Structure 1
């Protein structure tokens, strides 16, 4: 098959082994690659994001033998399943070669391959079964819900203030990161017409906004943390002003900010 021009040679060598293994196992009916492979934007640091389509009758057997399956490919040095991200069908693995390559294997029953966040490239299939399933629906990346964020944002600000008050500074640092990842950056990326993948690649996709986020990076003391929370509020208000139809909770906004001010004074 023809590989994308950006595919590094080490990744290609490993991918050829994976295709050979999958195509030789009757339980599998298709293999596709998503992410930077599909967009032809890979580099030496890229993962291989693979979706392995399974014959529905064999799915339970495959799920029970995932570790054995990924270990059939030469070079495996570590692997674990994806329960920590709510995806038990996922196996995350490292393979050694000229460089170490990270591979995500997502094992899905063939009909479930239609549910996807982007459009993968089919690497191998039995007949046209995987292509046929993918043609049944369009990919859809989850978009941020501005009202969902507004309903929570001022509770989040109050929470951050209580952590500063208690002197739980590392907890506050983590929570500010949560705000960047789950509220500020997804809204900004969506407004820019980009995929709202948290803060991933935000420096390259919307560099002006990424520069604003620098003001939300705090050090481990109350003054710095408080200033970072205020900057999160400023950025959120700017983003919210660009969205129509959000029912703002001005009472919660006023009270949470007054509480933050009180804590910092």
Structure 2
């Protein structure tokens, strides 16, 4: 696969760099799920800090292949990542630049491609991967205000805003909860079509509206039903349910439904 060829070539190029401690790979490589549509997730560990210096990050990236363009990942909350596009063949590669100390903190255990002195293996052996799971109380404290926000947009006729907000709810709430229900890591809505049961997928699809007031309200009601089912299945008795807020918001939903279009 082109991803493996690129990674092995990067290993060869970086092996002679005195600042490089090692190179690792994560993502679909770890589960043997790489296909023609996969990107490549690399971790470059260096003695001297590289992240924060965009010019230096670009210099490293440009050495690894036929570089087209790259930009840092602030929009996904990770400025240490350089998101790159290479050519011949066209390939998306994310390069995360870490120091050895930063390598200890991770959400999964990477496969080591290059480990010059064994320091990366030592770091893995002496630390634990912790994938971030959603805080159920955090969701419950917000969900009904979020539903009310969507109702305000539908009521005003801001259908694009409401439509996009449904996507936000799928990414932050329904996707992670459904993946947890199905024994998967809560990676937003990644690979939902393959990783959850057909009945769950059908329910999630009901939260996808068309650009239409009636459809938006119907999908929002489906979202509420889905959330309440997932809440009942996943949440423990320690979660403080916002029952009064839920009651008020659902009453407002009925009010919006009764307003003429």
Which TM class, normalised by the smaller chain length? over 0.9
Q: Which runs of 5+ in 2 are unaligned?
A: none
- Give the 3 Å change call, closer, same or farther, for CA 157–60 of structure 1 in structure 2: closer
Displaced runs of 4+ in structure 1, greater than 3 A?
Answer: 57-64
- 8 Å Cα contact 1:63/1:89 also seen in 2: no
Q: Which residue of structure 2 aligns with residue 191 of structure 1?
A: 181
Distance 2:44 2:100 in 1: 9
Residue matched to 2:115: 125
Tell me what 2:25 maps to. 33
1:176 aligns with 2:166: yes
Q: Distance in 2 between matches of 1:182 and 1:13?
A: 34
Structure 2 distance, partners of 1:76, 1:199, is 29
What's the CA shift string for 1:183-234, capped at 9, x where partnerless? 1121121122210001111111113211111111111111110011000000
Residue of structure 2 in register with 1:13 after alignment: 5
Looking at structure 1, the residues matched to 217 and 192 of structure 2 have their Cα atoms a distance apart, in angstroms, of 24
Report matched runs for 1:31-110 at 5 Å. Answer: 31-55=23-47, 57-59=48-50, 64-97=55-88, 99-110=89-100
**CA RMSD in angstroms, aligned pairs only:** 1.5
Return the alpha-carbon distance in structure 2 between the equivalents of residues 223 and 13 of structure 1: 50
d(CA) in 2 for partners of 1:126, 1:191? 41
TM-score normalised over the length of structure 1: 0.92
Equivalent in the alignment of 2:201: 210
Q: 1:248 aligns with which of 233, 241, 246?
A: 241
- Alpha carbons of 1:13 and 1:28: their partners in 2 closer, same or farther (altered >3 Å)? same
Aligned equivalent of 1:226: 217
How far, CA to CA, are the matches of 1:259 and 1:207 in structure 2? 33
Q: 1:3 is matched with which residue?
A: none
Q: Distance in 2 between matches of 1:182 and 1:256?
A: 20
Match of 1:258 in 2: 251
Distance 1:41 1:116, change over 3 A: same
Contact 1:27–1:58 under 8 Å retained in 2: no
> Does the CA contact (< 8 Å) of 2:51 and 2:57 recur in 1?
no
> Secondary structure, in 3 states, of the residue corresponding to 1:77?
strand
Give the TM-score, by structure 2 length: 0.93
